[in-house]
Structure formats: C-alpha cells, structure tokens
Amino acid sequence: MLELRQLSRNFGGVKALDQLDLSVHKGEILGLIGPNGSGKSTTVNVIAGLYKPSSGSLTFNGIDLSQRSTHERAAVGIARTFQNIRLFANLSVWQNVWAAHVVRDSGWTGLRKRWLASGRTARDEVQELLAFSGLAGKADVLAGNLAFGEQRRLELARAAASGAELLLLDEPAAGMNAEEIDELDARIRSLRDQGRTILLIEHHMELVMAVCDRIAVLNFGRKIAEGTPAQVQNDAAVRGAYLGAEATATT
Amino acid sequence: MDFYLGLAQVIGVHTLLGLSAWCLLHTGQVSLAQGGFFAIGAYASGMLTTMAGWPLGVALPAAALISATVAVAVGFPALRVKGLMLVVATVAFAEIVRLVCFNLTWRVNTGSGPVGPDGSLGFGGIRYFPSNGWSSIEILILIWGLVAAVMLALAWFDRSRIGTLWRAVGEDEVAAQSVGINLTAAKVSAFGIGGAIAGLSGGIFAHQVTHIEHGNFTILLATFAIAYPILGGLASLWGTVLAVIFIQGFLIEGLRVLGDWRSLLFGALILLVMLLRPSGIITSPIGRWFARSIRFDRPAAPTTGGKTHA
Ligand SMILES: Nc1ncnc2c1ncn2[C@@H]1O[C@H](COP(=O)(O)OP(=O)(O)OP(=O)(O)O)[C@@H](O)[C@H]1O
Ligand SMILES: [Mg+2]
C-alpha cells in the first residue's frame, strides 16, 4: 500500500535517509527499528509530509505523495503520532479526538454523510475511540493535564480518529511501564484487526518482536535487514549494528 | 448621564473590535490589522449611508462584507509569516489603510451640501442617527444588540466543528496538519470572520461619532484590539468583554486625570499581565502561547516539527 523507492533525505552533510526502499503491505504491522539517529523518525516525517525527500519517490495506494501537502496526506489515509508528543494541550481530550474526526467529515461529502448517516454519528465514534483508549472518563480533561501514558494513548486515539488506513507510530511505548506496554500491544493488534495497517517505530524490542509481522532495520539511514522477527533477530548485520548491544542493555 | 451612555457605547464598539481579534488569536495569529479592517468598515459604511443614501441596516452588513473580503485578501499572504513577523506585516497593512484614509478625498453633492471623505480633514457628516431621530439610548441598544448577536454566534461557533479546528491550529500547527486540518482554510477563514466583525464595529463607530478621520485608526487602536482578548483570555468570550470594560472604563476614562500617562500605564499593564498571568485575567491558553511566540528564537513549526531527540 505504501511504497518508498530510493528515498533519500539529507540534512546538511548528514544522510538521515540513504536510498531507502520500503514497502508496507495492507493489513500488516511493520516494525521499523534501528539505533538512535538511524533515520526512523525522518522516515515518518517524510511519509507524513513534514520533510520533503531530497530524492526518491513515495506512493500510497498508487497516489504519488510528493504532490500532496501534509493535510492532504492525512485525507488520503495516513495518520501519525509524534515521538515527542504533540497534543492540542489546551483542548479537552474529547476535542483532541473530535478535531481529528471532524476533518474527515468536512466539506460536501461530510455534509452528505451526516445527512445520510444511519445511526452511528461522529460523536458516537469519538466516544468509542475514547473508550478504546481507556480515556472515556477523562473526556473533559485538558489534554495537557493528562498523565504521560494517557497522553500517548490520546495521541494514538487522535491518529485513529482521522480514519486513516495507515498509522505511523513513532515510539508509542517510550516512557511507558510494563503494564501500559501490554495494553499498547493489545491496542495495536486490535487496530490491525479493524483493518488498519501499522508502521511501528519502537526501541522496546519485546513489543516489536511480539507484535510485528515483519521488521525492517535501519542503520545510518540505510536498510540493513528486513524480514520476520525471527529472521531479523538472527541476522548478523543487525546483531552487529544494534541488537547485541541493545538487547543486553534492556533485558 | 450622557457621559455614561457614551462610555457604554464605546465599550460596546470596542468589545466587537476585541472579539474580531479573538477570532484570529484562536488560530494562533497575532494580528494588528484589526484597526485597518475597522477603518475600512467605518469609511465604507459611512460612504454608503451618506453618499449612496443606503439605510444603515444594509450599509452595516455591506461594510462587514467589504472588510471581510479585504481581510481574506490579507489572510493569504499572512499565511507565510507568523509570530513577530505577522505582527510587523499586519501593522504595515493597518498603516497603509490609515494613509489611504488620510488621502482619500471623494465628495459628492447631496441635497444638504457636499459629503464624503475629505482627505486629512476626515470624513464628517455621517449623520444617519441624528437625521433619523435616534436617541443615545436607542443607539446604545443597537450597539449592544449587535454585541450580543456576535457573542452568541461566536459562542456557538466555538463549540462547532470549525471552532474546534481553529483552536487546534492555534495549539499546534504541525499536529493540526497531521490530522488533516487545512491550515490555509482555518487561518484565512479566521481572517475573514474576524475582518467582518471588525468591519461591523467600525461601521457602527462611524455612525456613533459622525466624524471619522485617519487619527482614529492608529496603532493604538490595533493594540487595544489585540490587548482585550489577550488580557481577557481565550477561554471565554466574557474575558474580552471584561477586559474592555476594565481598559476603556477604568484605565482610559476613570484615570483621565493622568492624561497621556495612561498610555504608559496601559503598556505597563500588558507587560505585567504577560509576566504574571500569561493566560489572561480569566485564564486561557493562548496568552501563554503568545508570550512564547513573541520571542525571536522560536523555530518555524513545519520545518522542525518532526525533529526528535534520543
Ligand atoms: N530537522 C533536522 N535537522 C537536522 N538534522 C536532523 C533533523 N532531523 C533529523 N536529523 C538528523 O537525521 C538523523 C536521523 O534522525 P532521526 O530523528 O530520523 O533518527 P531516529 O532513528 O528517529 O532516532 P531516535 O531513535 O533517536 O528517535 C540524525 O542524525 C539527526 O540528527
Ligand atoms: Mg526518532
């Protein structure tokens, strides 16, 4: 569904992404891992349209994304979370999700949809998403006043609310405790079961290995391995670049 | 009594002006163009009632529409700048409008002699109210009726989907874009609606005072416009009303004995509120945002938006 071809992005002399080829298939959970500074967030930012690629192409469901601005990419079905959480801090929890939900119902099509809506209204859907994220009781709390783990959950709910087929999750488990990570694991799976496709960037290896169908590994902006969790875990290049040091450090 | 009636009229007009800036602040835009839109509304409505002989009920909406159109035209280039640069650009616009008022001479002859803008002498004889026998009380009721209508509309709007999108844009442009919000549409629509309200308040102002001139539309007016919602906070529309009552009623009128020192006091007050209560008297988000955004070192959001750190 998403195809990156020979994608590069330079920052001055730094090659944050170096001729990256990556395909995300519909309905899968694809992990994207790599050491700090290997270009994972840059990949998300290029896909979401915050950074322009220096060269290469990216297409989503056959659409050339380079011609689309950030909000248009959201409209065609790409949503994301941020590594450094970016909520609408002074809006309520409910409004955060509502804002992401209503844009897909705006304009003429939205008006028609609302007229013809049979039963499920936008408000019900927002309420469902809040319940799904364990935030139903906090609908009126300002997002900025939430606990850290709740903020991460809200960001995920907001991304899902935009109705996107493809969710780009940039380190959703960062700063979470074991229990919260288990919940996140379940949420990611259930989003996938609802038909979403997920690109998961994570340093938490246990989560990545457990939840991902496939994993791609970056190092210095290059893809050094790709395959099932088992394949990646046993890959010599990966162990050398990353897993060896990381695995002993975190377990 | 007349004094208080006049003061209540001024407060009503300035409340509308403050509400126009309130719209723009919602999308995170600090605009000093509101005084310019106000001037356009004042001149346009005045010319429509005196020179074209339109009734006020038609001239006011027309003036609001003209101001809104100009505001949308200003809103597009304004998209390219933010923070302090937006302040500078909108000041420049307001100053251009003031100079146009200064130079605009267009007199036509009516039954009661020549009327119309007369360059630096200003534009007098906007006597719709007196010639139609309106009393001060009736003018006051009209003004506050308009204030109430605009406040009701904005309160409804703030709860509507577009209001939520405006606030989202004001909170975080990068996040807003990423959930699919069209920044251009949000910011330009805020300019348009804010411009319409400013035009309306300018229109009512022109008829209330009957004589307008470029000196009415200086940078001080624009500063007032933005000061009201900043002092009052964006959390509630009432904050803006209270801020107008405080500034116009107490600071400007109540302390008249202080003469020009009041301007100094006004400036000091703004600074004080920024430092002590960045969220406004009533508390609100955007004051804090404003305090932050006015600093030079704030990076432009889209280019660094996704910058992450280990
Ligand atoms: N806006 C930017 N300006 C300059 N350099 C940048 C920018 N964004 C990223 N980089 C550089 O690009 C490289 C890749 O950064 P990126 O944030 O994509 O890494 P990452 O894999 O997400 O790392 P982490 O695991 O720490 O989040 C780094 O060397 C980083 O310093
Ligand atoms: Mg990163």
A10: domain CATH number is 3.40.50.300
The answer, for A156 touching chain B at a CB cutoff of 8 Å, is: no
Six token digits for residue A162: 């935009």
pLDDT in tens, A177-213: 999 999 999 999 999 999 999 999 999 999 999 999 9
Number of domains in chain A: 2
Give the dihedral sign, CA A111/A112/A115/A116.
negative
Give yes or no: residues A71 and A89 share one domain: no
What separation in angstroms does the CA of B71 have from each of A155, B75, B96, B220? 34, 6, 14, 19
Q: What is residue B232's predicted lDDT score, i.e. its pLDDT? A: 84
In chain A, which residues have their Cβ closer than 8 Å to the Cβ of B178?
A: 48, 50, 70-71, 74, 79-80, 82, 86
Query: What are the respective helix, strand and coil percentages of chain A, to the nearest 5?
Result: 45, 25, 30
Flag whether A246 is in a domain: yes
Q: Which of A83, A86, A103 sits opposite B174 (nearest CB)?
A: A86
Same domain for A2 and A57: yes
Q: N- to C-terminal Cα distance for chain B? A: 67
Q: For residue range A130-151, what is the model confidence (pLDDT) as tens digits? A: 999 999 999 999 999 999 999 9
CA distances from A93 to A98, A150, B166 (A): 9, 10, 16
- Check pLDDT > 50 for residue B108: yes
Question: Whose CA is closest to atom 30 on ligand 1?
Answer: A37
pLDDT-based confidence at residue B285 (cuts at 50, 70, 90): low
B286 against A116, higher pLDDT: A116
Structure tokens, A76: 């065609």
* Tokens of residue A228, six digits: 């099932």
Statement to judge: residues A143 and A105 lie in one domain: yes
pTM over the 0.90 mark: no
Residue of A nearest to B165 (CA): A99
B122: CA distance to ligand 1 center in Å? Answer: 59
Show the DSSP H helices in chain A as ranges: 40-48, 70-76, 93-102, 107-116, 122-132, 148-161, 178-193, 205-211, 229-233, 236-238, 244-250
Residue B290: the pLDDT is 52
Question: Domain residues for A127?
Answer: 84-164
Predicted pLDDT at B119: 87
Residue A152 belongs to a domain: yes
Provide, rounded to the nearest whole percent, the portion of chain A with pLDDT above 70. 90
Which residues neighbour B291 within 8 Å (Cβ) at sequence distance 6 or greater? B274, B278
Banded model confidence at residue B215, pLDDT cuts 50, 70, 90: very high
For residues B68 and B199, is the Cβ–Cβ distance under 8 A?
yes
Assess A197–B contact: CB distance below 8 Å, yes or no: no
**A94-120, pLDDT tens digit by residue?**
999 999 988 776 665 665 665 565 446
Residues A203 and A158 in one domain: no
Nearest CA of chain B to the CA of A42: how many Å? Answer: 8
Taking the CA of residue A84 and the nearest CA in chain B, the distance in Å comes to 7
Query: Is the per-residue pLDDT at B184 higher than 60?
Result: yes
Residues in CB range of A96: below 8 A, 6 or more apart? A87, A88, A143, A154, A157, A158, B168
Note the pLDDT of residue B115.
87
| H-helix or E-strand spanning residue A200 | strand A197-201
pLDDT at B308 over 60: no
Per the prediction, chain A carries an average pLDDT of 89
Please say whether the beta carbons of B206 and B44 come within 8 A: no
Residues whose beta carbon lies within 6 Å of some atom of ligand 1: A 11, 14, 16, 34, 36-42, 83; B 304, 307-308, 310
Residues across chain B = 310
Whole-number Å distance between alpha carbons of A188 and A29: 8
Q: What are the extents of the domains in chain B?
A: 2-218
pLDDT at A226: 94
| Residues A29 and A95 occupy one common structural domain | no
In a domain, residue A205? The reply is yes
Whether residue A69 is found in the same domain as residue A1: yes
A96 part of a folded domain:
yes
Among candidates B167, B180, B308 on the partner chain, residue whose Cβ is nearest the Cβ of A71: B180
Residue A155 within any structural domain of the chain:
yes
Contacts of B28 (CB under 8 A, 6+ apart): B82, B169, B170, B171, B173, B286, B289, B293
Tell me how far CA of residue A151 lies from CA of A85, A87, A198, B104, in angstroms: 7, 8, 19, 56
